[in-house]
Amino acid sequence: MTRQLDQEVEPAVTPADPPAPNAARRVLHAIGPGNLSLIGALIVVVAIFGSLNSGFLDLANLAGIGEAVTVFGLLAVVQTVIIICGALDISVGSQAGIASVVSAMAFTATGSNAFVGILAALGVGIVVGAVNGLIIVYGRVNPVIATLATLAAYKGLAQLISGGKAQGFVLDNDLFIFIARGKIAGLPVPIIILAVVALGMHILLKYTDIGRNIYAIGGNDTAARLAGININKYLIAVFMLAGVVSAIAGIILTARTGSGQPVSGSEGLELKAITAAALGGCALKGGKGTIGGTLLAVVLLGALDNGLNVVGVNTFWQNVAQGTLLVAAVVIQQRRSGERAVGLPA
């Protein structure tokens, strides 16, 4: 006789869903820990210089900071794309210089036709960017060495075609005046140009297959090649993009100064662009970086430069500060990556 035992069947326990992150955590995740440190540094810089000189916080001065960073901000944004791709372009400042000269000279040669001057500058930007890419890809030259060489070459070319002097005068033209001093919805045109270019780069990197491939190339070029990505084509295209954006920076430089500047307005911009990209979180070995972080670093550098000027610090200290920030950014990246320091035991 079998006895049937009544067994109580316990209901299955489903694991509770993890609590949804609150709004504050979502915001912090979206900003990123690296960007939070930049925001904190920016707040400290603003607080220090604002306390030392009340004029630092004037709206006119803050707007001046925004306009002052547009040229090197454009170069920093496109430098971010290049670094993410695993390369580096040291010649962007010289590219801006030669585009500035060409825009002014074409403007003068065509009887003050601003559109021809702008198109000529953009065309030169495409050519010099393509030259960089072709040297790197088909000459099998390291990007740092290749663009170090073209840095000197483009600078010399700008001086040759201009005779080493500022060329033309564009401030009697409505379009160049609008680029330099115009406003749209209360915002200066150069700031709007920087915002549009930065937004375009952000969308390219984050929401397109092209952007994902750029990250893949910088992260592991061997895996990217095995996945079927044409690395050579991407490198040439990225350097051509750098040439176009550098040309836009050169056009703004021409409009702002009123003439084509072979060297004086563009010298040193490449260091500031690389510093901003590194501070913004770009890994110099590639595969990592964001446009938002770079823009925050651009604003931080602009506030630092302006603050030093406002409180009367010798302008040579700006170069010291930029170099120090670049070293600090690279050291922080090295520590976070966990890689062995060069020359030290494992």
Render 125-143 in DSSP notation, one character per residue: HHHHHHHHHHHHHHS---H
- pLDDT at 9 exceeding the cut of 60: no
Region class of 182: left (phi > 0), else alpha (psi between -120 and 50), else beta: beta
Confidence at 337, pLDDT banded by 50, 70, 90: low
Spatial contact of 96 and 247, defined as CB atoms under 8 Å apart: yes
Per domain, the residue ranges of the chain are: 74-325
Query: What pLDDT does residue 312 have?
Result: 80
Summary mean pLDDT of the chain: 85
Average pLDDT over residues 261-272: 80
Confidence at 284, pLDDT banded by 50, 70, 90: confident
The CATH code belonging to domain 74-325 is 1.10.3470
Confidence at 344, pLDDT banded by 50, 70, 90: low
Angstrom distance (rounded) from CA 263 to CA 154: 10
Angstrom distance (rounded) from CA 252 to CA 203: 23
Angstrom distance (rounded) from CA 167 to CA 163: 9
Angstrom distance (rounded) from CA 321 to CA 48: 15
- pLDDT at 126 exceeding the cut of 50: yes
Helix, strand, or coil (residue 332): helix
Give helix 92-109 / helix 114-138 axis angle, nearest 10°.
Answer: 150
Angstrom distance (rounded) from CA 179 to CA 8: 80
Query: What pLDDT does residue 5 have?
Result: 46
Angstrom distance (rounded) from CA 254 to CA 266: 10
Retrieve residue 143's tokens: 């990007």
Q: Which residues is 188 bridged to in the sheet?
A: 183
Confidence at 64, pLDDT banded by 50, 70, 90: confident
DSSP letter at 340 equals P
Point out the least confidently predicted range of 34-43, 89-98, 138-147. Answer: 34-43
Higher pLDDT, 235 or 52: 235
Record the pTM: 0.86
Q: Please state the separation of Cα 246 from the chain's center in Å.
A: 11
Tens digit of each residue's pLDDT (9 = 90 or more) over 19-47: 556 665 665 555 556 678 888 888 988 89
Q: What percent of the chain has pLDDT over 70?
A: 85
What sign does the CA torsion over 102, 107, 110, 113 have?
A: positive
- pLDDT at 234 exceeding the cut of 90: yes
Query: What pLDDT does residue 26 have?
Result: 61
Query: What pLDDT does residue 25 have?
Result: 60
Q: Is 169 exposed, middle or buried (0-12, 13-18, 19+ CB in 10 A)?
A: middle
Render 83-94 in DSSP notation, one character per residue: HHTT---TTHHH
